[in-house]
Amino acid sequence: MSKRNIVAVVGRPNVGKSTLFNALAGSRIAIVQDTPGVTRDRIYQDVEWLNHSFTLIDTGGIEPDSKDIILAQMRDQAQIAIDTADVIIFMVDVKQGLTDSDSKVADMLRKSGKPIVLCVNKVDNYNRDSMDVYEFYNLGIGEPFPISAVNKQGIGDLLEEVVSHFSKSSTDEEEDDSVKIAIIGKPNVGKSSIINKLIGENRLIVSDIAGTTRDAIDTPVKYNGKKYTFIDTAGLRRKNKIKDELEHYMIVRTVGAVERADVAILVINAEDGVTEQDAKIAGIAHESGKAVIIAVNKWDLIEKDNHSVKEFTKDIRNTLAFMNYAEIIFISAETGQRLVKLYDMIDMVSENHALRVSTGVLNEIMTQAVVMQQPPSDKGKILKLYYITQASVKPPTFVIFVNDKKLMHFSYTRYIENQIREAFGFKGTPLRFIIRERK
Ligand code: GDP
Ligand code: GDP
């Protein structure tokens, strides 16, 4: 199983982070339907390059208007990158030259011990600018990689350097066989309270692993003889932050946590109902293809009658219709109500996430499904489904071979999905389908 590597870009406003994002966009293979109702922020994006794929995140918040704030914000960015990324691209601007805040942030990044790749942007003409590029050696974080994001120059060399740092960091994590659970949700829904309650006496004491800050937000637990690791997304809590900036950091944190997890627990505040912000966070979990549990917390604060659960569930299913595979549980971190049930649910959804179904049985189900509901046709040509096989797990991914891809409407794929779910459950996990033509 592979966890996607995370690459974070840190840099002052206007150095060209967005431009680099755009230059790297569009290479993604579209197997996931766009998440309805959730606009994908430019804050994070999947990048495929040669044989590598990774998630690129822009840790830069909104544009501050004074020098002091720029430095404070860059420190926050750098800290988030240190906590969440496998590799950090530190971007500077050759036209502005070396600034004081660049040096301070470089110090901070260097001390973290994370792999840092120094990217000097706006080198539109290397012959002219090369002397200016050398200046950045003074940052003490290694060789500067000159690029022109606008002209898409130098990006190959930059990415080659970035991916050269991958293999080491990902094998480190694969040695750990615990189930990884990201607790996600907007601020104040009770994420930390849930983690603290769940951990209780079960915290595993582990010997210090060589010092990344990341370990501080990961809590290993042993429960009923099984190992779990809870990944917290709480992070920076500073009062005087602007709303947009907080939201930006929340998204960065969530992407980072979810990518490293097997299961995402989306925590919703029962008092608020399902909000737009919840939907945005849910969208991140959905797109990552992880198993999902929706935990409605603070259930103790709701005046309940025997319709409450049903109505709340309906509300979730409507607002988060794109993830109707998610399991739902109503809990209270305050009273402890149903909290231990979460462990069973985590086991169940993570098993489903890794479930493999034999090709023979899959084809029986598809053949029956086709008999019960005729496939769509267009201008006299009928869709033929030849063969189905499961290509991978986490999430379970199926390949269906057909005569003509254009005839395979989304609704018919959904129908096949429902038949498979009826037979095997697959509760709590998304399923993915790849449609291939076979002549
Ligand atoms: P961000 O604030 O770091 O995301 O920076 P942007 O990507 O928005 O870029 C800021 C400005 O720099 C824009 O006007 C870009 O067109 C310009 N810019 C970005 N990359 C390059 C480059 O490679 N060369 C030049 N000359 N300008 C660039
Ligand atoms: P986070 O920001 O999502 O980590 O939220 P916290 O765990 O810090 O909780 C925010 C506030 O909600 C705190 O004051 C908690 O005591 C309170 N809280 C958390 N869970 C519950 C719950 O189940 N019931 C009640 N009544 N309060 C809760």
166-192 pLDDT, tens per residue? 865 444 445 578 999 999 999 889 998
Q: Kind and range of the H or E element at 332? A: none
For residue 216, the number of C-alpha atoms closer than 13 Å in the C-beta half-sphere is 10
pTM exceeds 0.90: no
What's the CA-to-centroid distance between 333 and ligand 2, angstroms? Answer: 7
Pocket test for ligand 2, best of 192, 193, 265, 277 (most atoms within 8 A of CB): 193
Q: Nearest C-alpha to atom 6 of ligand 1 is from which residue? A: 16
Chain segment 39-95, per-residue pLDDT in tens: 445 678 888 888 888 989 888 766 666 777 788 888 888 888 888 899 999 999 999
What is the complex's ipTM, to 2 decimals?
A: 0.79
The answer to whether residue 33 scores a pLDDT higher than 70 is: no
301: Cβ below 6 Å to ligand 2?
A: yes
Give the list of residues 6+ apart from residue 37 with CB closer than 8 angstroms, or none: 279, 322
Q: Is the pLDDT of residue 28 over 90?
A: no
Higher pLDDT, residue 241 or 118: 118
Residue 168 confidence (pLDDT): 57
Percent of the chain with pLDDT over 70: 86
Q: Which of 195, 189, 435, 180 is nearest to 288 (CA)?
A: 180
How far does residue 256's CA lie from ligand 1's centre (Å)? 25
Closest by Cα among 193, 186, 191 to 281: 186
Kindly tell me the number of DSSP H helices and DSSP E strands found in the chain: 13, 17
CB of 166 closer than 8 Å to CB of 245: no
What pLDDT is stored for residue 84 in this prediction?
A: 84
**Does any ligand 2 atom lie closer than 6 A to the CB of residue 309?**
no
The secondary structure element, H or E, covering residue 184 is strand 179-184
- pLDDT tens for 363-393 read 999 999 999 999 999 999 999 999 999 999 9
Predicted local confidence at residue 74, as pLDDT: 85
User: Strand 5-11 and strand 397-402: pairing?
Assistant: unpaired
> In this predicted structure, which of 25-29, 30-34, 135-139, 330-334 has the lowest mean pLDDT?
30-34
Q: Tell me the pLDDT tens digit for each residue of 100-140.
A: 999 999 999 999 889 999 999 999 998 898 889 999 999 99
Question: Which ligand sits nearest to residue 12's alpha carbon?
Answer: 1
Task: Tell me, using a 6 A CB cutoff, whether residue 18 lines ligand 1.
Answer: yes
Q: Say if residue 395 is preceded by a cis peptide, omega within 30 of 0.
A: yes
CA distance 259 to 265: 13
Q: Is the distance from the beta carbon of residue 87 to the nearest atom of ligand 2 less than 6 Å?
A: no
Express each pLDDT in 212-237 by its tens digit.
334 446 888 889 889 999 988 765 55
Q: Comparing 292 with 39, which gets the higher pLDDT?
A: 292
Asked if residue 19 has its Cβ within 6 Å of ligand 1, the reply is yes
The encoded tokens of residue 306 equal 């025997």
- CA 321–ligand 2 middle distance (angstroms): 26
In angstroms, the CA 257 to CA 3 distance is: 11
Ligand 2 atom with the shortest distance to the CA of 335: 23
Q: Tell me the HSE value of 428 on the side-chain side, using a 13 A CA sphere.
A: 27
Q: Counting atoms of ligand 1 from 1, which one is nearest the CA of 124?
A: 24
- pLDDT tens per residue across span 11-26: 988 899 988 988 887 5
Q: Please say whether the beta carbons of 154 and 148 come within 8 A.
A: yes
User: Residue 260: pLDDT above 50?
Assistant: yes
User: Nearest 5 degrees, angle CA 80-CA 81-CA 82?
Assistant: 90
CA of 297 to the centre of ligand 2 (A): 8
First and final CA of the chain: distance in angstroms?
Answer: 32
Q: Which residue puts its alpha carbon closest to atom 10 of ligand 2?
A: 188
Residue closest by Cα to atom 19 of ligand 2: 190
Provide the 10 A C-beta neighbour count for residue 373: 12
Query: Which pLDDT score, from 0 to 100, does residue 26 have?
Result: 57
> Atom 9 in ligand 2: which residue has the minimum CA distance?
190
Q: How many Cβ atoms from other residues are within 10 Å of residue 207's Cβ?
A: 4
